[in-house]
Each structure stands twice: as structure tokens, then as C-alpha cells.
Amino acid sequence: MTAALTVTNMSKSFAGPRVLEGVSLSVQPGEIRALVGENGSGKSTLIRILAGFHLPDEGSAEVDGAPLHLGRGEASEALGLRFVHQDLGLVNNLDAVDNIALGVGYPSFRGRIRWQHERKRTRAALAELGYEFDVRRPAGSLAMSERTALAVARALAPRHTPAKVLILDEPTANLPAAEAKRLFELTKRVADSGVAVMFVSHHFDEVFELAQSVTVLRDGRLVITRPVAGLTEDQLIELVVGRHVDNAVHDAAAAERRDVVLEVTGLGCDVLSGVDITVHAGEIVGIAGITGSGRDEVASALFGGTDRAGEVKVNGAAVPKLRPDRAMAMGMGLVPAERHANATFMTATLRENITVTRPGIHWRNGVLWRSPERSDVSTWLARLDVRPPNSEFAMSDLSGGNQQKVVLARWLRMEPQVLVLNEPTQGVDVGAKADIHKLIDDAAAAGTAVLVVSTDHEELVRLCHRVLVLRRGKIADEISGGRMDHDLITAATIGRDQPSAA
């Protein structure tokens, strides 16, 4: 039987080390193949090469025996490759009919688009997937599950060349479990029709439920392709991370330190559901999880940037939802992940960026006393080793690491009871990273309760007393003490539930 997809010796580098090296694989018609690996393993690069977005350094590919002209998206389309990318690739201000037409065009009658016919055809395509909604609504107003269904419907819409291979990149990353099940049923129907399916997933339960075979990539290289039958989840995790991951039982008493400062009960928003968190004075608690696990939503929900269900208390007092001003007044500080978009005023001075959270401290009789304000800010710039330590420099004049230190100075100056840090060292160099870690240590030593949300598992191991692992909007594991290990955190985020302490 001719393979639906064959990849031979595919390699790619980006101005330095190779991110994909000598990868070969083949997928048969009707086969469902899982493609797994850690972030940076080469999965996305391989998919982008097949889609024509990247041109490989070397290697070749065939679809149903026909050579694929690499580096040309129209060639992939013409041979029957269909893609649903993780970001879905929808145009948010266009409706479902227009979004599907972006892939297949508008069939016309006597030079005119038959809109009623097109809407009927779009509704039928969505119904085939088990969805029914107003196809005239802009895609940006649809629920995430509806948007995912729309992207799948576009990929499977009839074309001149029938679909030979459907490639799904993290299709369930933003779907609740019930919606993911519907997508699985659709995927099985597609495979039963003879179309090969390759899907990327960090959820190993999906691999075992859906796939007949699995390909593992690590550091840009092929580790193995093998049937799922006979493979255990522990074995798959070991193949992904590269070594055995110990399954020791954690010591729950490690978290029992001083008084509870931050108490979160039943936190819910977007994909989060019923999340409970406690952080003691002087404790650093980490939050880990893959994209779509709810990790990204925690910090903003606690601080009041997004609506939430549940209760958040600081030192026993309830923090109102959607009230960042009250959260600040009650002793909470937030360093968000998107520094430029949500945390800095790039054209303002370092002084203005630091004092913005408490501007009144240097006001006297309606007048801002600049000299003591500058002195106050200079003290913090020196304490955090911001370079250059000039309070009147514009924020845009600093490196990323120094900008992050300024944002931290803004909150440390407030002497917070609770400090919530979302990706605290994202985009900073190794020296600044070490400095920021020391500042977080010092804040905890001074009695601040610290919550660190991070995709950097080494960072969580370095900083945290405990790490809470989110999967599908819920806490799936708590890692502490002797279990605090990078590979074990990775294993927990991608699908294995760990036993609780007795």
C-alpha cells in the first residue's frame, strides 16, 4: 500500500543549531498517528515545512506517492494535505461562510455568489461535525469549541483534490473535555474514510485513546515510531523526556509553613474550574501546565483583570472580583506575562513606571515633590541593580531584563503581602534571570507570599517550595520536596496523574 504521507531525512536550522535533523516517517491511509515531544522538539517546524511555510535545509516528502514541492503552500493544498493549526488561522471579523471560503473559494452561478446556498452548505459542514450555530456571526464572537469546529470544517471542505492527510496541531488545547470527545469522534470518522490523520498533543490520554501509532521527537531528532498497543504511559513519558522519571510520593507537610496569606477557593474562569490554592507567608508556590490547561488565566483572575468565580482572600479578607484597585489596596501585586502590552509605559521614565502604583506618597498640599520621589526611585534602582540607574531614563532605553526589574521594583516598593508573577523571567538574559530569582527569594524571605506562573520548569524547580500542575482547568498534581524535578513536572503537565501522599 502506498503511504499517504512520507517524510525522508527532513532537516531545518534557523541561523544556528538545527531544530530538525534527519527526521523520516510515513503514515498510512486511514491511520491515526500521534506526534509528541516537548516544546522545542521540532514538531511545529515539521508541520510548517509540510504546510509550505518553511523551506527545509534538506529532505523530501511525498503525498500518496507524489512528490511534494516544499516551500509552496499551494503545492501542499493541491496534493491533499489539510491543516488545522493551533491558532486556527481564522479571520475573526469574518463569518463562518467567509472563513471556509478562504480555503475553498466561493462557487458562483452566472458570476454571482449564491449566499443562501453557501450558508446552507456551511451549516451542513458544521452539522457533520456535530455543531450548530449562526453561520453569520463573526468568528471572533464564537466559543473556542465552535471556532475549532469551524477550522476543521474549512480543512475538510471539498476541493478539486480530495483530502489525503489531515494534520491537527494541538486541536484540543482550548477545548473542554466534552468538546474534545466530539472532536475525537470526528477524527475517527475522517480516518475511517481513508484519510490519514497526524495530530500533535501534549495530552497523553488522547494519544492512547485516539492513535494507532506514535512518533516521538526530541531535540529535533526522531526518537521512535511505534504502535501505541503495548506502550505504557510511563514508557511514553520516558521516551519524550529522555530518561526515567521517578514516581516518588511527595511530602504534603513541606507546604505547612507560617500563616496562610493567600487563600483561593473554587476559582473558575474560561477553562479553570474549582481551583483551590493556598500560599503561606514566605512560601513560593508555582503554577505549571501546558497551553490551554488554565495556567495563563490564573494570574489575571486573581488580580481582577478578568472575571472569575470563587473566592480570593488575602489575610482572611475577601478580594472583590474585577477590582484590581482593591486587590492592590489589600496587598496584592501582579507582574503580568506580556510586559510591553500590560506592565510598562515605554515612553515614560523609570521614575514614572515605578511610582505609578503609589503616586501619592510624595504629594504635599496638592504638589508632587520631585526631589524625594527621585531619591526614592534611585534607591530602588540601586537595590535591584537596574542599569543604567537613572530615574529619568525612558523605559524604552532599557534592555528587557532591566525593564523587568523596574516592573518588579514597582511592586516591591509597595511591600506586598502577595506577589503574583506570571512568566517573571520571560525574554531576559541569563544574568538578569539570576538577579530576578534572587529578588523573588528575598521577597519570600521578607514574608511575602509568592505565586509564580511559569512555563520554565527549571525555573519552578529553582524557586518553588511547591508546584501545582494544571490540566484541563483543574489541579492534577502537587509536586514538592524530593519530587521537585524538571522532568517530573513535565511528566505531570503532559498527562500522568501522580499519586497523592497517604
For every one of its 502 residues, what pLDDT tens digit does the chain have, with 9 covering 90 and above?
Answer: 899 999 999 999 987 778 899 999 999 999 999 999 876 688 989 999 999 999 999 999 999 999 999 999 899 999 999 999 877 889 999 999 999 988 777 777 777 888 888 899 899 988 887 788 999 999 988 877 788 889 988 988 887 788 999 999 888 766 666 677 878 888 898 899 999 999 998 778 889 999 999 999 998 999 999 999 999 988 998 898 887 765 444 344 544 558 999 999 999 998 899 999 999 999 999 999 987 889 989 999 999 999 999 999 999 999 999 999 999 999 999 999 888 788 899 999 999 999 999 887 888 877 878 888 999 999 999 999 888 899 999 998 887 888 999 999 999 999 999 999 999 988 675 567 788 999 999 999 999 999 999 988 888 999 999 999 999 899 999 998 878 888 889 889 887 544 433 3
* Exposure on the CB side of residue 16, measured as CA atoms within 13 A: 1
Cα–Cα distance measured from residue 233 to residue 496, given in angstroms and rounded to the nearest whole number: 7
Predicted TM-score (pTM) of the model is 0.63
What does R_g of the chain's alpha carbons equal in angstroms?
26
Q: Across the chain, how many H-helices and E-strands are there?
A: 17, 24
pLDDT attached to residue 255 = 46
Angle, helices 144-156/177-192, rounded to nearest 10 degrees: 10
Task: Report whether 284 contacts 440 (CB < 8 A).
Answer: yes
Closest CA to 410 of 439, 435, 447: 439
pLDDT of residue 246: 57
Distance CA 334, CA 106 (A): 48
Q: Is the dihedral of CA 356, 360, 364, 367 positive or negative?
A: positive
Helices (H), 193-278: 204-210, 233-241
Cα gap 56→215, rounded to integer Å = 20
> Measured between alpha carbons, how far is 56 from 437 in angstroms, rounded to an integer?
38
Within 13 A of 445's CA, how many CA atoms are on the CB side? 7
Q: Is the dihedral angle over the CA atoms 401, 490, 177, 199 positive or is it negative?
A: positive
**Structural domains of the chain, ranges and CATH numbers in brackets:** 5-241 (3.40.50.300), 248-331+416-502 (3.40.50.300), 350-415 (no CATH)
